Structure formats: structure tokens, C-alpha cells
Chains A and B, each alone.
Chain A
């Protein structure tokens, strides 16, 4: 379905609003029929809330989905966590009538009903399959001559049993979308590894998360890139705020972190400030200067 409602989640609007701005720019420029999903809540975050109580996770996720069902639009997510939560919940409820019945009994208390009529999309998968690399290339007004470390993150591709996207071990969809903008996607060891933040690890066991992040940043540092490009604000935060924490321990990386929506908006002619790259936690002024106005 090409009619979509944009699901913002928590981290994009409340921590990295530049990604929200950039996504709006991209959807508008690409001529997509979209609107924001008004009144949405937390997806809710899969690692923490699904861990506590699956019925609660399904009830909240399904409320968000029904808001979009009412509008007859697919849900577009710009976060691997939101995608993981909403796509998994949507599929579970579509395929399991008992769970659907139980969830609908909770939803009936607020006058809503899950019908199972729409799909949940991730922006990378959506752009790749609905717009296509060629059409995106045609829209570019400023090719970006950047060396990029692409970070897929986990829940865009996994679990593969409930994803439409291709290879888990050797995917190329994200790299192709990045290279469509003129960038070079540089290969590096452990490219498919987790950022460290998911599963509630960042929130409760920050040092464990940071150890995983430091390892991955080390591999990216060796690849000598201009920036990291991801498609998840949680990975974004883990790499961005994580570098601030690591610098405090004497380990400096200085690698700017950019969401794909921001990268795409740059190639559509917008400035780093227009899409809030200067609002990252770490100082990205050298990178913003490199991009120019």
C-alpha cells in the first residue's frame, strides 16, 4: 500500500527530532501519500515491555496499529525497535485467533478493534521496494561523496521468520540505497553486529551495552569512514551518546552518526542544520562543514 501513516515512536520526536524533520522532507519530495499517526504512543519497546508481559505488549502495539487501520494506511516505521514491535505484533495477531480475541477484549474497553487489515513497513524496505533505487537516484540534486559505514541493526532483518526483507547474513538493500546517493558503502568486520542497545540492555546494564558499542566502533574506526549511517534512532543514540560516554573514559572516536532519512534529505539539497545533524550529542561541526551549505 502506498498510503502510509508515519509512526514516530519515542526517540525520534523526543531525542532526535532532526530525523522526524528529515523523514517528512523525504516523504514529501518523493511524492508519497503520507500523514503522521496522530495520538500514537510508545510502540511499546520490544526488549523491555515484551519481556515483562506479552499481553500488555500486544495491547499497546495493536492500539497503535488500529489508529492506522482506521485511516486505511500502512504504518511506516523509522526505527528498528518500533518496526520489530509493531510488525511482530501485527503478524502474531493476524495469525493467532486466540491472541487476537484476547487483545480485542482489552481494546474493546477503549472502543477499538484490531482487524488485521494493514501492514507495518520499515523505511529502508519501503523505499527499496515501493520507490526503488533508480527513482531515488533521479531525485538527487546533490550527490554525496562520502565514505559510509552502513549499520543495519538487528530488527530490520531479524527474526527472518517474520520479515519480508532478504538475506540476514549478507543483505544489500541498505547499501544500495546509500550508494544511490553517491556515497560509498565501505565494508568492515562485524558489520552485521548489534549496536549493543537493544533488549533493555542500554537502559539497565549500560556498561554491557557500551562494551558492545566500543567493539563495533573500533571496527568502523579502522574502516576510515566519514560517518555511520543507520536506520534506527536507538542505534543512532547508542553510537552518538555512546561516543560521548566513551570519550569520557578516554576513548575518542569522533565518527558522526546519521539516520538514512537525514542522509537522503542532504542529497535532496537540504543542509546539515536543516535536518538537525548539528543537534547530535557529539560535536559534528567538522562533518557539517565538510558537507557545506
Chain B
């Protein structure tokens, strides 16, 4: 589908097969130190086959870019992970909470929209209850929705709720 590359394109475009499995990436990864993401293994898996798109650890990367900055082979590892995530997303593999965030964006133009508690906090500070963003500009929100529709974002992420 347009919008996502194939796994073969990712492997070629990002020189994934240059990886020598040295492990600098894993040694630099906060999500590896404190949780169970193994970047070195994930990169090997991506270099082997399409099955990598089902690997849940794809979504444990905080995109801190330590691995990418330090990779001695110059592989843009975070960009690889983002590209493989997009293949997964285009095949419907999206975590439920992420689907919800996508819904919020489509509905409000904000991934984190305003609520009553925070309208109150804004007024306490002497600010308008709504910020000057799409929240105060319905025509701009309409443009955002139009743009999302033009990109087919609803079809990719599922429009339900």
C-alpha cells in the first residue's frame, strides 16, 4: 500500500545487512536496560524476513536515537524501526492505545485534546479557556480533517469508536 515501504526496501535503503551484531545499540538502549527491548536482535530479525513486523518489541523503542548515534556501521536504526512500524501499521498491526490516539487526532486535531480540568487550570492562570490552536479555529480543524482524509489516515488506523 502507498505510504509504507516493503521490508526489502527498508533493508536496502538503510543498509540493514551491514549490521555486524556488535551490540553497541543494545548497550546504549534505555528500553533494553530497564525493559526487554533487544535492539541488536530486532535489527537481525528485520534483516532476515518480513516476520519482524509482528515483533511486539518494535513498539518498545522510545526513539531516543542513542543506538542510531552510536552505530559503528552508520545504520539509522531508529529510522529503520519507524519504517518497519509503518509496514506493521499498514497491515493492521496497531496497538489499541495507539489506535485511540489516532482517533483523538482525527477528531480534535490534537493527540492530547483539552478537557474540563485543564480549561480550569488555564483560566486560573489568566489564559483563555481554549488555546489559540485548532481548538479555537474550527476552519483550521476542518483543514486538518481534510488533510488526514486526503492521506487516507482513517483507513490506515481504523476509524471506529
Contact = CB atoms under 8 A, between A and B. Distances in A.
Contacts of B112: 10-11, 14-15, 42
Nearest to B114: A14
Interface residues of A, number: 65
B129 to A, nearest CB: 10
Interface string B130-161: 01111111011101101110111100110000
A262 B11 CA distance: 44
A119 to B, nearest CB: 21
Contacts of A159: 65, 68-69, 76, 78
Contact of B133 (A18, A40, A49, A110): A40
A39 B156 contact: no
A39 B110 CA distance: 11
Contact of A60 (B2, B115, B144): B144
Contacts of B33: 212, 215
Counting contact residues on chain B (CB < 8 A from A), the size range is 35 or more
Nearest to B151: A56
Interface string B83-101: 0011001100011111001
Contacts of A286: none
B59 A201 contact: yes
B62 A201 contact: yes
B110 A205 contact: no
A13 interface: yes
A56 B148 contact: yes
A17 B118 contact: yes
B3 interface: yes
B54 interface: no
Contacts of A56: 3, 148, 151-153, 156
Interface of B: 2-4, 30-31, 33-35, 37, 59-66, 68-69, 76, 78, 82, 85-86, 89-90, 94-98, 101-102, 105, 109-115, 118, 121-122, 124-127, 131-137, 139-141, 143-144, 146-148, 150-153, 156-157
15 contacts: A10-B112, A13-B133, A14-B112, A42-B110, A48-B101, A53-B156, A193-B30, A197-B62, A198-B63, A201-B60, A204-B98, A208-B35, A214-B34, A276-B124, A279-B125
